[in-house]
Chain A
Amino acid sequence: MLEIKNLHAKIGDKEILKGIDLTIGPGEVHAVMGPNGAGKSTLAAVLTGKPGYEVTEGSILFQGQDLLAMTPEERAWAGLFLSFQYPIEIPGVTITAFMKAAVNAKRKAHGLPEFKAGDFLKLMKEKMALVQMKPEFAKREVNVGFSGGEKKRNEIFQMALLEPELAILDETDSGLDVDALKIVADGVNTLRSPERSAIIITHYHKLLEYVQPDVVHVLKDGRLVKTGGRELIDAIEAKGFDQF
């Protein structure tokens, strides 16, 4: 599914990722945990092709394709999805218009016909219900005036609609109360399948109580310094990141 080899990346002159090796198989959920400034969000940015990040060494294969040679939209069509840590507001564009453009662009890239308006709205309604978004949100401008929890739910709704092969959840649990956290976790769990994989980026164990990862990595100072199972979450909970 995903094969990252010796990935080095920098912003400006500052090297943030200093040699990441990470392989994720189909159906696997990996947690990447680490303190602030470890490079967690940079990893997510590089995977999704955010401008401003320079990969200086290494390679990323996604479903056998050279991910680094692809534009952000091509990565989305290939099945990559990032749940943003800080979802962006798009004034003047409704959620319906936004997601219709996104879903149809992906369908077009796969040689499928565009959705009929009615079919799309029905599908949207179904996915909104999954994350308990009220139907009136369909007409709201993307993230404009949303609370922190509403923004995160909107991310998971978009994920549910796009049905990615690999979802990256960047600090999706930050700023969520327990109820919102459960809704988000349910949304993620609903999508789990033997084909779909996920990377859960967090510095916090809470979401991982509801979404069970198969593998846990500790990211520190731009490197994965430890890889293990659930026991790592408990160790971090007990003693923090300084032990690594």
Chain B
Amino acid sequence: MCDHMNIIEIENLGHRFSDGTLGLDNINLTIKEGAFVIIGGQNGSGKTTLLRHLNGLLLPNTGTIRLAGIPVSQNLARSRQIVGMVFQDSDSQIVGETVYDDVAFGPENLRLDRRQVKRRVSDALKAVGLIALADQRPHLLSGGEKRRLTIAGILAMEPKVLVFDEPFSDLDYPGVRQLLKQIFALHKAGHTILVATHDLEKVIAHADHLVIMKDGKVVRDGLPGEMVKGVEAFGVREPFDSRPGMEVKS
């Protein structure tokens, strides 16, 4: 086996919505374990639709997706455990009445015993720095804290891949910085990271794989430094550093 095995393999993936519009059109993509991938594209380009196929929230009309070699649709529970997903709107994904309960929601769904649930919750809360707020009601958290809570809720399921869908929307500058630090730390800890965003600038310096989508198709796929030139043609703002021919950094 090679150094970095492919954790996600997408072959000829196509998805048509029930109203007949084409969501994804013949997508082929492989993502290596431990990679930091940015999926860029303007709103409506198919980023969210693609991500929702990774853990079987949407099922393909054509093609297959394999997670560590096994098709997603073969075992949905396994797929959802491997691919943790942080959604755009924090408020509608926090289900617990307290911070602790929310993080415990996932492990409880996995039917772990109480002791394990407790350990996973406290590990996850420590990882995002919210352990002191364990008894707080989620409603009273700040935007950045809510976003970190949603990450903790996913971490408690011990996924290999972390998927962030437009993670920077609605966050103030300190919130963005803290979230970036969090994402980088998770990458360093060995997670495969996928970030869907229309704002490449914030994360591109840390990424090792850039995918650009437009109208449900993958139009660029490769190393960020090589792929970032001319992305404005696809409705994505080119990072400032790349324009005068400088090296891209954060």
Instruction: Tell whether A and B belong to one assembly.
Output: no
B interface residue numbers (CB < 8 A to A): none
A interface residue numbers (CB < 8 A to B): none
